[in-house]
Structure 1
């Protein structure tokens, strides 16, 4: 995630213990009629609340609002850092503060859809959690390989009688190396898998690469579960593995089981990459990304994000 971008999407969900604040949490119905409370009604210091809002507005990232340009000034300078997904110019700093579900402060343009970068990972972990709840995944400690079918990349120009590719598999198999066979769902969810390989044209070592280029192709392999490393290639591996389990695009899963249930608008979109299309049960399906590292990811409004945050603060209830 680009440094400072989260301040542009400041969704402060005030979830205090019920023993301290006995009011029941309100959840808004679908649509724009979200009830509000004054700071006094919510028992919040109005002066400090204003200071928090002013701080958020003043703390906008100094990176360009043209997020494609911002990409090429940062991650785009890494090896294989070319953008392969959509970018959207960001709007004004925007946020919502909730107390017991009621809006007590709001600024910017809460209906505007913007990129959320690595906040997308919260949505990805949610659809994996839904698969676990529905017994599509029996145990998070089970190897992901047990759930992984060969993946056929969707390429309309692919020629299967190409002599130069004779004898080479046209299928994508993510967990067939000795190292990757040991990776569990929990390892991927916790970013401790140390998955090795290349996905959607991005090698695992190329995301935030070692400062010493001599280590890029000969890096030490850590035992799955032993070392945490923030890595978007491996998050995208999780997204493709989840697509394999659900056998349907993950945005459809999220919409049916979460976003429609919480009354979200119909304006959010979850994108993958121009080259992350596969064939699933005879139909093209895009494997979404777990962030906006190379473009794509979750594009959503502050209002819809606040609904999702409120759901999370209530443990999904």
Structure 2
């Protein structure tokens, strides 16, 4: 009887806790820092840093890309690029907007933050049993030659999601070895390099992330932006202004239809173009462990999995970063985040019920912003 009573109490507690959480409707409610027992001065200082310390990348992002990756052979912009705006962002506490700066409705490129959206589409495929196990070999699902060869046949979904596959090949005219090559050597050496055993070596590489996006397209058998829209963005009330784009040459035949295979970043153009408010909704979904109101949009298990450190890199999970190694000084190690070129971030702090979105911040200042926001919570 005591056990039954305890179970009932626990159920009621969880239910009340869930019902008590705020989720924004079309209009997002704003509250003052004081009403949530936060220190306004410290919060204002965080906002001041985020808005005043702008990233140095050229506002013409076509130029910024060419400058950042000038060392890469055969570098070519294959997807859409647009000029960026200025610093912008929001702080969300207990689900409410408590601070904002810049043009939070401006649609901008977000570069590698797109990888965390791509990770979500992979998680949905696992939830729907389209992928049976994260450790399954990708070649079991994609048999068109993408994973042919002694090395590539070993690659699993886990390896692709942790950027530890060392996939070797060319996709949409882009060679894996030409993406962020080492400073030593030349084309012949890079091509003939020794491949690392999948799962043992982390390497940030957009070509391989795009291989993951292509592989998920083969699994879903429909456009990944459509999957994201139907399963995530529409249910959380995102705007209709966001776009997820690939390259002019990345259209593939899917059951007789030409579908664009999208990019997991903006390295070669394309990727996700989105405003700060939609980023914040996406972040709040993860803060709420995949739940939105009374709907479990993505499993809580997946939300937990993306935060875990991978074997190949301790501060990187399934296309999400984490602060487990204390890289952001003075910021709690439980924080995890999506990050993209040019100072784009979606930061999740479950312990403090926080989401912080920043656009075009000087990367060296992001830990200062987070430290001050966390300090503002009394």
The TM-score with structure 1 as length reference comes to 0.84
Asked if 1:95 corresponds to 2:89, the answer is yes
**Structure 1 residue 23 displacement after superposition:** 9.9
What residue in structure 2 maps to residue 107 of structure 1? 101
Q: 1:260 aligns with which of 216, 234, 252?
A: 234
Q: Matches of 1:239 and 1:176 in 2, distance apart?
A: 17
What residue in structure 1 maps to residue 330 of structure 2? none
**Structure 1 residue 302 displacement after superposition:** 0.3
Summarize the alignment of residues 172-211 of structure 1 with structure 2, pairs less than 5 Å apart. Answer: 173-211=145-183
What residue in structure 2 maps to residue 213 of structure 1? 185
**Structure 1 residue 288 displacement after superposition:** 0.2
What residue in structure 1 maps to residue 259 of structure 2? 285
What residue in structure 2 maps to residue 5 of structure 1? none
What residue in structure 2 maps to residue 25 of structure 1? 21
Q: Matches of 2:256 and 2:43 in 1, distance apart?
A: 53
Summarize the alignment of residues 26-65 of structure 1 with structure 2, pairs less than 5 Å apart. Answer: 26-29=22-25, 31=26, 33-65=27-59
3-state SS of 2:200 partner: coil
Asked if 1:299 corresponds to 2:273, the answer is yes
**Structure 1 residue 22 displacement after superposition:** 11
Q: In the alignment, is the contact (CA less than 8 A) between 1:96 and 1:106 conserved in 2? A: yes
Q: 1:78 aligns with which of 72, 82, 91?
A: 72
Unaligned runs of at least 5 residues, structure 1: 1-17, 151-172
Q: 2:138 aligns with which of 141, 144, 147?
A: 144
Unaligned runs of at least 5 residues, structure 2: 1-13, 292-378
What residue in structure 2 maps to residue 116 of structure 1? 110
Q: 2:244 aligns with which of 260, 265, 270?
A: 270
Q: Matches of 2:24 and 2:113 in 1, distance apart?
A: 22
Q: Matches of 1:149 and 1:261 in 2, distance apart?
A: 33
3-state SS of 1:278 partner: strand
The TM-score with structure 2 as length reference comes to 0.71
Q: Matches of 2:151 and 2:160 in 1, distance apart?
A: 13
The CA deviation string for residues 90-147 of structure 1, in whole angstroms up to 9 with x for no partner, is 1121101000100000111111100000000011000011010000000010100000
3-state SS of 1:272 partner: strand
Q: 1:187 to 1:135 in 2, by over 3 A?
A: same
**Structure 1 residue 24 displacement after superposition:** 3.7
Aligned residues: 274
**Structure 1 residue 175 displacement after superposition:** 0.2
Q: In the alignment, is the contact (CA less than 8 A) between 1:76 and 1:294 conserved in 2? A: no
Q: Matches of 1:294 and 1:316 in 2, distance apart?
A: 30
Q: Matches of 1:230 and 1:192 in 2, distance apart?
A: 8
**Structure 1 residue 313 displacement after superposition:** 1.1
Asked if 1:126 corresponds to 2:120, the answer is yes
What residue in structure 2 maps to residue 240 of structure 1? 214
**Structure 1 residue 76 displacement after superposition:** 4.3
RMSD, matched Cα: 1.5
3-state SS of 2:34 partner: coil
**Structure 1 residue 213 displacement after superposition:** 2.4
Q: Matches of 2:289 and 2:19 in 1, distance apart?
A: 17
The CA deviation string for residues 256-305 of structure 1, in whole angstroms up to 9 with x for no partner, is 00000100010000000111110111110000000000110000000000
Q: In the alignment, is the contact (CA less than 8 A) between 1:76 and 1:82 conserved in 2? A: no
Q: Matches of 2:19 and 2:221 in 1, distance apart?
A: 42
Q: Matches of 2:116 and 2:90 in 1, distance apart?
A: 18
